[in-house]
Amino acid sequence: MYFEMDCPCKGKNLDKMLQPAILLELYDEDLHGFMLIQKLSRNPMFDGNMPDKAGVYRYLKKMEASGLLRSDWELDDEGGKPRRIYSITDNGKQCLVNWTMALKQYTRSVDKLVDKIDKKIGI
């Protein structure tokens, strides 16, 4: 059987899961973009793979505009490049709670779908 590499059936492109993953990483600590990307790569949703950096930065910008995150510039004491540090807002924390409830329901629905497919095609 032949599948296209970018076929959604491969489960590779779950970009909608980027938002709750970002919120989770920022829940306990403020991070700059590069450190956030490194932590995301260790998230089970990315299975050790580095997420698309440009996509992460797009999401950060969008999430900040939506009020889920805020950012401030951190200046290096040694005169290095300033870095944007991201932190979660109260709205972002509530959004993560909402994501948790939605994902739990989604998991139940997906489990039912998988069971139905298994029964139908015998995998």
**Mean pLDDT value across residues 45-64:** 90
Q: What is the pTM of this model?
A: 0.81
Whether residue 48 is predicted with pLDDT greater than 90 in this model: the reply is: no
Q: Are 63 and 69 in contact (CB under 8 A)?
A: yes
| Beta carbons within 8 Å of 76's beta carbon, 6+ residues apart | 82, 83
Residue 78 has pLDDT above 80, yes or no: no
Query: What percentage of residues in the chain have a pLDDT greater than 70?
Result: 88
Mean pLDDT value of segment 55-65: 95
Q: How many angstroms separate the CA atoms of 85 and 107, rounded?
A: 32
> Burial code of 18-49, b = ≥16 C-beta within 10 A, e = fewer?
bbbbbbbbbeeebbebeebbebbeebeebeee
Residue type present at position 2: Y
Binning pLDDT at 50, 70 and 90, where does residue 63 land? very high
> How much is the CA Rg of the chain, to the nearest whole Å?
18
Q: Of the spans 14-28, 34-48, 101-115, which averages the highest pLDDT?
A: 101-115
Number of H helices, E strands in the chain: 4, 3
Which whole number is the average pLDDT over 78-93?
Answer: 91
